[in-house]
Chain A
Amino acid sequence: MVFGVILAGGDGQSMEKAKQYMLLGSKPVLIHTVEKFYIHERLEKILVLCPQKWLKDTQEMMEKYFPSSQGRIVLVKSGDTRNETIRNAALYIEGHFGLEEDTLLVTHDSVRPFVTYRIIEENIEYGLKHGAVDTVVPASDTIVYSEDGTGITSVPKRSMMYQGQTPQTFHAKKFLELYQKLSEEEKSLLTDACKIFVLNGEKVYLAEGEIFNIKITYPYDLEVAESLMIQ
């Protein structure tokens, strides 16, 4: 089974100020993102993980925008960190559907609403074939590596540099197995799910992203997103 996992754990002082709930055009960013997953028939369920305090409001929002979803969209409480949130998703699936070796999670930032059908499709396809997938675009800027933050340690070859986006796709069972082996300190350092796979010697396949698959992090990003819309 393949599950969409929308990571909407971002906290804010109020729901209106949290990026995933801000309006892009006439709809919250989160709704745009869930819509992209909703039309993918291969996704059994779409898990939306958000803070406990906004679970009820988010549930109502989903009922408003997806009135005929018939339980396909499921709200689950997010964790304190990104990986804890993914863990919650995996544990929810384990509890409700059981985990098989090939149960696949297509995890995605709720604040990347410009993800395309092709990117999700290729994540599913490569995930089923290779096990783990990260979505990337070739780095357009030169990447500078600095160990002390004051001077350049090295300048890696740009043609080998990529910028990570989402979705990130992997087997739920494998993720839980690797994550549970980590010490608390390692857990706090390993903020990227794919990095956990790489450090354990697991091959992570690259899927081609899109430059416009931007993450809406700052007010500036929302302005950029608005400017991409046909008026």
Chain B
Amino acid sequence: MLNAVYRLVAPRRFEVEFNDISLKAGQIIVRPTYLSICHADQRYYQGARPIEVMQKKLPMALIHEGVGEVVYDAAGTFKSGDSVIMIPNMPKEKDSIIAENYLRSSKFCASSTDGFMQEHVALDMDRVVLLDSSIDKTVAAFTELVSVSVHALRRFDMIAHQRREAVGIWGDGNLGYITAVFFKAMFPESRLYVFGVHQEKLSQFSFADETFSVTDIPADLLVDHAFECVGGDASQRAISQIIDHICPEGVVSLLGVSEYPVPINTRMVLEKGLRLFGSSRSGREDFLKTVSLYRSHPEVVGYLSNIVGAQIEIRTIADMNRAFETDIHKSIGKTIMIWNK
């Protein structure tokens, strides 16, 4: 079946091309309904990646966060009209030790293969997760980002020692907010401190025990463990502050993406016996855990709805450009494309 794929061919320029989806391949055919724009998509859209990366990746359909409706499932597992979350990580092998999102052979939508800006997306059975009809679709659209936080929190639970009286999250953007929301749901006994730059953004963390401006952290403030959700140019400063304020043998969970190598004060990492671990992307188990948290802690969906930003209906390529341009000018929040292609 001919399928329209809306690919970025050059910075700020989308064009339609077609692939041929086989109805006999046993895949589920999903029609995207709500798609969410991520920083990674923006970097491609604006041409902010190095030129050799742009040349290698484009043309490519963007977007790896989204939900859709099943239109066809030859196996009959899903009904036509079922709402599903699409999993963008595509493992090509099985490994009993290494998680699917760390296997070097895995493909990832809108990075090493076309993303969800398509008329239909053909997915293997285990690349979709059924979504309760009661969950707000504008929130469900960015479940992938949420699952990255949940993935890091699950790993934190396995790695960090059991003294978790006070935990700090550095970063007042979307990732920091989501990680904070789910930390509170998963570790309700711990005190949560959030560290950020913008007072108006910090005021959104109403559920945190305390928030601090990074320019005004009490010298004697200590946390048992920390999450770095900053990324970019400010990564170095955030990690440096964490090392200053973390107790010995604490765990530092790194989540912020930086284009450049980040210098780290390893002397103090050694002296305090710290453990730093990185997390990136997520796998099916993380999506299932996220959806089960939506169910068991419905208040998290309410908190997540606070960061739903502009909602833009997409019927034309001009609408796609409008959504990405709108997203550039936001301060916080997720831009949602209501996909009607």
A residues neighboring B (CB under 8 Å):
24-27, 32, 35-36, 38-41, 65-68, 113-114, 116-118, 208, 210, 212, 228-230
Q: Would you give the shortest CB distance from B173 to chain A, in whole angstroms?
A: 34
- The complex places the Cα of A230 from the Cα of B17 at a distance, in Å, of 6
Q: Indicate if B212 sits at the interface (CB-CB under 8 A).
A: no
**Which chain A residues border B315 with CB–CB below 8 Å?**
208
Q: Indicate if B71 sits at the interface (CB-CB under 8 A).
A: yes
Interface residues of B in 1-19 (CB under 8 A from A): 1-2, 4-5, 16-19
- The complex places the Cα of A225 from the Cα of B318 at a distance, in Å, of 22
Q: CB distance A27 to B72 under 8 Å?
A: no
Please tell me the number of chain B residues within 8 Å of chain A, measured between CB atoms: 23
Of the residues B17, B80, B341, contact of A228 by C-beta under 8 Å = B17
**Which chain B residues border A39 with CB–CB below 8 Å?**
1, 23, 29, 71-72
**Which chain A residues border B19 with CB–CB below 8 Å?**
229-230
Q: CB distance B18 to A38 under 8 Å?
A: no
**Which chain A residues border B24 with CB–CB below 8 Å?**
65, 67
Q: Contacts A32-B1, A117-B120 known; A68 to B16 CB distance under 8 Å?
A: no
Q: Which of B1, B2, B5, B29 has the most CB of A within 10 A?
A: B2
Q: CB distance B71 to A38 under 8 Å?
A: no
Q: Which of A39, A41, A65, A66 has the most CB of B within 10 A?
A: A39
Indicate with 1 or 0, residue by residue over B13-36, a CB within 8 angstroms of chain A CB atoms: 000111110011000010100000
Q: Indicate if B74 sits at the interface (CB-CB under 8 A).
A: yes
Q: CB distance A35 to B23 under 8 Å?
A: yes
**Which chain B residues border A32 with CB–CB below 8 Å?**
1-2, 20
**Which chain B residues border A114 with CB–CB below 8 Å?**
2, 4, 18
Can you list 24 A-B contacts (CB < 8 A)? A25-B20, A26-B20, A32-B2, A35-B1, A35-B2, A36-B1, A39-B23, A39-B29, A39-B71, A40-B71, A41-B71, A41-B81, A65-B24, A67-B24, A68-B74, A116-B4, A117-B31, A118-B340, A210-B4, A212-B16, A229-B18, A229-B19, A229-B20, A230-B5
Q: Indicate if B249 sits at the interface (CB-CB under 8 A).
A: no
Q: Which of B23, B24, B74 has the most CB of A within 10 A?
A: B23
Question: Can you list the 4 inter-chain pairs with the closest CB atoms, starting with the nearest?
Answer: A35-B1, A41-B80, A39-B72, A230-B17
Q: Would you give the shortest CB distance from B107 to chain A, in whole angstroms?
A: 16
Q: Would you give the shortest CB distance from A106 to chain B, in whole angstroms?
A: 16
- The complex places the Cα of A67 from the Cα of B74 at a distance, in Å, of 11
**Which chain A residues border B244 with CB–CB below 8 Å?**
none
**Which chain A residues border B340 with CB–CB below 8 Å?**
118
Q: CB distance B72 to A116 under 8 Å?
A: no
Query: B15's closest neighbor in chain A, by CB?
Result: A228
- The complex places the Cα of A27 from the Cα of B2 at a distance, in Å, of 10
Indicate with 1 or 0, residue by residue over B68-81, a CB within 8 angstroms of chain A CB atoms: 00011010000011
Q: Contacts A39-B23, A117-B71, A228-B16 known; A212 to B4 CB distance under 8 Å?
A: yes
**Which chain B residues border A117 with CB–CB below 8 Å?**
31, 71, 119-120
Query: B23's closest neighbor in chain A, by CB?
Result: A35
**Which chain B residues border A113 with CB–CB below 8 Å?**
2
**Which chain A residues border B31 with CB–CB below 8 Å?**
117
Q: CB distance B5 to A36 under 8 Å?
A: no
**Which chain A residues border B16 with CB–CB below 8 Å?**
212, 228
- The complex places the Cα of A212 from the Cα of B18 at a distance, in Å, of 10
- The complex places the Cα of A68 from the Cα of B74 at a distance, in Å, of 9
**Which chain A residues border B4 with CB–CB below 8 Å?**
114, 116, 210, 212
**Which chain A residues border B119 with CB–CB below 8 Å?**
116-118
Indicate with 1 or 0, residue by residue over B116-139, a CB within 8 angstroms of chain A CB atoms: 000110000000000000000000
Query: B61's closest neighbor in chain A, by CB?
Result: A230
**Which chain B residues border A65 with CB–CB below 8 Å?**
23-24
- The complex places the Cα of A90 from the Cα of B20 at a distance, in Å, of 31
- The complex places the Cα of A113 from the Cα of B1 at a distance, in Å, of 8
Q: Which of A36, A38, A41, A230 has the most CB of B within 10 A?
A: A230
Q: Would you give the shortest CB distance from A100 to chain B, in whole angstroms?
A: 23
- The complex places the Cα of A117 from the Cα of B315 at a distance, in Å, of 12
**Which chain A residues border B18 with CB–CB below 8 Å?**
114, 228-230
Given contacts A32-B2, A32-B20, A39-B71, 16 further A-B contacts (CB under 8 A): A36-B1, A39-B29, A41-B71, A65-B23, A67-B24, A113-B2, A114-B2, A117-B31, A117-B120, A208-B315, A210-B4, A212-B4, A212-B16, A228-B17, A229-B17, A229-B20
- The complex places the Cα of A40 from the Cα of B24 at a distance, in Å, of 16
